[in-house]
């Protein structure tokens, strides 16, 4: 599965998903891109899903227009130690059929 970590997530989080083809926004040279532009790039480059900490993205984007699954990591903060606790639940979600739109992952 080809996955992208948004720039609001710690880069080393990608190490937890090494069984997938995973990139950070920085890896792709997309840092600073607006959400709509980022969604277009995801689709153009055939990404399967976006990971983000941006809880507002689900209200800001038209998921009929941008048919991409977005895994929203919902935690008290976006530190590696906190988000790493969501990895097992995130892997469970990735093992199921992903549907376009926001998928909230909480503790």
What is the rounded average pLDDT of the residues 54-60? 67
| 8-state DSSP, 100 | S
Q: 61 versus 44: which is more confidently predicted?
A: 44
| 8-state DSSP, 59 | H
CATH node for 2-106: 3.40.50
Q: Distance between CA 91 and CA 27 in Å, rounded? A: 22
Share of the chain above pLDDT 70, in %: 90
Q: Give the domain ranges of the chain.
A: 2-106
Q: Are strands 21-24 and 2-5 parallel, antiparallel or unpaired?
A: parallel
Q: 64 versus 88: which is more confidently predicted?
A: 88
3 state SS of 78: coil
Q: Is 82 a residue whose pLDDT tops 60?
A: yes
Contact between 61 and 39 under an 8 Å Cβ cutoff? The reply is: yes
pTM score, whole prediction: 0.89
3 state SS of 70: strand
């Amino acid at each position: 599965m080809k996955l992208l970590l948004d720039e609001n997530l710690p880069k080393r989080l990608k190490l937890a998903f090494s069984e997938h083809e995973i990139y950070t926004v920085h890896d792709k040279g997309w840092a600073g891109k607006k959400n709509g532009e980022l969604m277009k790039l995801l689709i153009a480059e055939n990404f399967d899903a976006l990971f983000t900490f941006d809880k507002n993205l689900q209200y800001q984007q038209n998921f009929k227009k941008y048919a991409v699954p977005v895994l929203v990591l919902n935690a008290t903060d976006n530190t590696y130690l906190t988000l790493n606790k969501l990895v097992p639940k995130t892997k469970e979600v990735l093992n199921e059929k992903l549907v376009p739109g926001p998928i909230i992952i909480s503790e």
